[in-house]
Amino acid sequence: MSPFRLPLKSGVQTFGTGLFGGLPGLFNDSLPDGWGRLLFDQSMRAEGFLPEEFSPLDRLAYIGQTGMGALSYEPDFSEAPEREQIDLDWLAAQSVDVLEVEADEVLAELLALNGYSAGARPKALIGFDGKQGQIAHGAGALGNNYEPWLVKFANLPDGPDAGAIEFAYAEMARRSGIEIPETHLFIAVKGEGYFATKRFDRDGSKHLHMHRACGLLHSDFRTPSIDYQDLLDLTSLLTRDVRETEKIFRLAVFNVLAHNRDDHSKNFSFLMNEAGDCRPLMI
């Protein structure tokens, strides 16, 4: 599942505490950063705990069955809400409240909806019924008519058109021949839009194993530590398929020409199906 830093072999393997708090990158990939970590820390403070009291293993227990990718953790302390219809405009407004001030009354719901996805911008895992145009909680099991999607909301420094801009970039990438998951722009009441992508770590009810370049290589995504040549080599080693390596090269060219400056090591991932076939994730 992680061939470079956590190979399948006998014996005890240890990891320094400096980068991932003692975890191998495989399991650190399950932990949130940015928005997800903010929600968890504020939620724990609201319950009378200090965030520093929770070790990385404690945090994995709160992820339980709700994390991205195929990994799940026991004991499972996660709390998935009952599936019900949700309002994206309301979620966006509540996300702003959490960023500006502590809003204890909505922390639990936002935390469950986040699904411990990574990144600085607020996100929610939703179930989307395209035929009926209905949106439901997507952290748990979904009904037959719902598909798993991930929707993003604007961060405080973002402008009101951040979602529309990201959607435009996705369309440019698609028209450039880059294979990316299905995307959608949910229109807000105020005219803004929420960028959404069909969940890339799900194939129907199947959970796909996902591993970020950051965790694969034990690379600190906060500092410039790898370049596109490293990604090309990594893709070649993992997939053993020159066609997949060419996809990464095409994506690299697009990012350079489109002035995408958010291409750090946590934004490049690889998916593996149950047959063990691996491919890079283009998003």
* Residue appearing with tokens 């469950």: 112
Contact 69, 78 (CB under 8 A): no
Under the banding of pLDDT at 50, 70 and 90, the label for residue 115 is low
Per-residue pLDDT of 15-45, as tens digits, reads: 988 899 999 999 999 998 888 888 889 889 9
Angle made by CA atoms 194, 197, 201, in degrees to the nearest 5: 145
Query: What mean pLDDT, rounded, does the chain reach?
Result: 88
Largest CA distance in the chain: 58
Buried b (16+ CB within 10 A) or exposed e, 80-116: beebeebebbebbebbbebbeeebeebbebbbbbbbb
Distance CA(98)–CA(96), nearest Å, equals 5
Report the pLDDT value the prediction gives residue 136, as an integer from 0 to 100: 85
Per-residue pLDDT of 52-78, as tens digits, reads: 999 999 999 999 988 899 999 999 998
Mean pLDDT of the region 158-162: 86
Distance CA(121)–CA(251), nearest Å, equals 22
Looking at the DSSP bridge assignments, the partners of residue 127 are 136, 148
Q: What is the pTM of this model?
A: 0.89
| pLDDT over 70, % of the chain | 93
In which element (H, E) is residue 198 found?
strand 193-198
Under the banding of pLDDT at 50, 70 and 90, the label for residue 105 is low
Per-residue pLDDT of 185-196, as tens digits, reads: 999 877 679 999
Under the banding of pLDDT at 50, 70 and 90, the label for residue 118 is low
